Amino acid sequence: MFPESVDFYYIFRFFISCPLNSPSTHHVKIRVNQIQKNMKRLFSTTVIALLFFWACSEEEYTTGIYRNLTETKIALSFVSTDQFTTRAFGTNEATTAEKAVKSGKLFIFKSGNKVFEKNLTNAELSTLSTQPLVFTVPGLTASTAYDYYIVLNDGDVAANNLTALQALTQSDIASYNGPWSSVNDAATTPNRSGGFVMTGNTSATTGTDLTQTQDINVSVKRITAKLDVNTIIDNTVFGNGNKYGGTITIDSAVISKTQGTTSLFAGTPPTTAGTLTLAKQVPNAATVNSNYQNRFYLFENGAQEAGSRVTLTLYGTYTYNGIATPVAYLVELTGNGNGSIARNGSYTVTANIKGLSGTSVSVTITLNDWETIVNQDANLGS
C-alpha cells in the first residue's frame, strides 16, 4: 500500500535526534508531513476502492442471482384477437373506430411491487400492431418472474402496486354507445373520445443474460362486448292481403339489465342482474317493412338465470288504415348460452318479426368472435 523505500523508524529517530531549532529538524518536519499526507491519501483511496468493489460484488452477484447494474432491453409484442379481414355487419372484424389506439401505459411488477412504468409515445402507439415495442428497464434481476400489464385508451392510469391496478374499474359504458351514425362500420372515430379501452397482462421470467433483449408477448382485449341488432320483417305476414294488412316499422331499441361497471382487467364478472338501461338508439333506416340494424357496447357479466338476463327491447309502430299503434318486442340475451356476456365478445341478435305480439320467441346460439362471436336468432310475434 505504501512506498517500500520509506523507513519510518529511521526517519523518526533522525527527527528526535536533531535539535528542535536546527535547520535539519525543520526539513525533516516538512518531509514527514508530506509523507503523512501521502499516507492518508493512499489509505483513503484504498478504502474507497475496497468499498466500491464490495458494493459492486453485492449488486452483481447476491445469493447466486445476477442483477443488472444498468438497463435491460425489453421487446414487447402485442397480440390482438381481431381478425383483420373485410368486415360484414354481425361478424368479428373490428372497425376502424374499435381498434384505434390513442393512449397507452405499461406497468412492470415484481412480487406485486411496481418496478417500472411507462407512458407510450405517439410514435410507439402508431406501430403497436406492426412491430414490437422496444425499451430499456433498469435494475432487473436475471431468472426472475415479472408481471407485465398494459392499458390502452384509458389515459394516464395510476397505480402504486399490482393490487391497486387490479382493483381499478370503469363506469362509462354509455359513452361507447350512440346513434347508428357513430357506431356503424363506416364510423372511423370512436364514440368514446378516448377510444375503446383495451387491457392485457402476462407473466414472464427474465433470462440468465440480461444483456440480451427480453421478448415479451401480451394479448390485448377490449373490456367491452359488442352487440349487433338486426331485424328481419316477414313480408309474408305484413302488408296487403297478408295476416296483418298494415305495415310495421322498427323505430328504436333499448338495452336493460346490463352492467354499469366493469373491472379494468379480466377477473370474475358479476353474476347479479345489472341495473343500467341504455337509451334508445336511432335506427339506420325507418322505412316501413324494412330491416333494422343497430349496435350496442356492453360490459361483461357472468351467468344469469332467465328473467335476470340482459334484455333487448325493440320498439316499433304498426300502421293500418291510417291508425298508428305502438308495439314492443322483448328479447332476453342468452349470451354464451347461460346469459353470460364476455368482454371482447361479439354478439348478434337477429329478430325475425312475424307478428304483433312479443310472446313467441325462439332462440338459436352459435359461437363466433370479435373474439367470442355469438349469433342469436329470435322469432318474435305471432
Question: What DSSP string describes 285-306?
Answer: ---TT--EEEEEEEE-B----T
Residue 2 in domain: no
Where does a domain end: 197, 222, 247? Answer: 222
Cell digits for 252? Answer: 328504436
What is the crossing angle of helices 23-60 and 8-17, to 10°? 150
Taking only the tens of pLDDT, the chain with its 382 residues reads 444 444 433 333 433 344 444 444 444 444 545 555 555 554 455 444 444 444 443 344 444 444 455 688 888 787 655 543 323 344 567 888 888 889 999 999 999 999 999 998 988 888 877 788 888 999 999 999 999 999 999 988 999 999 999 999 999 999 999 888 888 888 888 899 999 999 999 999 999 999 899 998 888 889 999 998 888 888 888 888 888 899 888 888 899 999 999 999 988 898 888 999 997 776 665 556 567 788 999 999 999 999 999 999 988 889 999 999 998 888 888 888 899 999 988 888 888 888 886 543 333 333 334 554 334 444 545 4
Report which DSSP code applies to 94: P
Number of structural domains found in the chain: 3
Domain final residue, candidates 191, 222, 253: 222
The verdict on 236 and 188 lying in the same domain is no
For residue 228, which of 82, 80, 370 has the smallest C-alpha distance?
Answer: 370
Give the distance, in angstroms, between the CA of residue 324 and the centroid of all CA atoms in the same chain: 48
CATH number of the domain that residue 129 is part of: 2.60.40.2580
Residue with cell 517500500: 4
Mind listing the pLDDT tens digit for each residue in 86-116?
233 445 678 888 888 899 999 999 999 999 9
Is the C-alpha dihedral spanning 333, 338, 339, 342 positive or negative?
Answer: negative
Does one domain contain both 77 and 55? Answer: no
Within a domain: residue 321? yes
Pair (92, 195) in one structural domain: yes
d(CA 91, CA 17): 106
**Domain residue limits at 103:** 71-222
Q: Do 125 and 191 have their domain in common?
A: yes
CB of 286 within 8 A of CB of 354? no
CATH number reported for the structural domain that contains residue 233 in this entry:
2.60.40
Task: Tell me: do 178 and 150 sit in the same domain.
Answer: yes
What order do you get walking across the sheet with 276-278 strand by strand?
Answer: 276-278, 247-258, 311-320, 323-332
Same domain for 55 and 86, yes or no, is no
35, 62, 89 - which closes a domain: 62
Mean pLDDT of the chain: 76
> Measured between alpha carbons, how far is residue 25 from residues 5, 10, 17, 18 in Å?
21, 14, 9, 6
204 and 320 belong to one structural domain: no
pLDDT tens-digit series, residues 258-311:
999 999 998 889 888 899 999 777 666 555 656 778 899 999 999 999 999 999
What is the predicted pLDDT for the residue at 218? 87
Q: Which amino acid is at 81?
A: T
Pairing assessment for the beta strands 363-368 and 372-380 based on DSSP bridges = antiparallel
Same domain for 174 and 187:
yes
* Pair 369, 343 in one domain: yes
How far the first Cα of the chain sits from its last, in Å, is 104
Do residues 194 and 333 both lie within one domain?
Answer: no
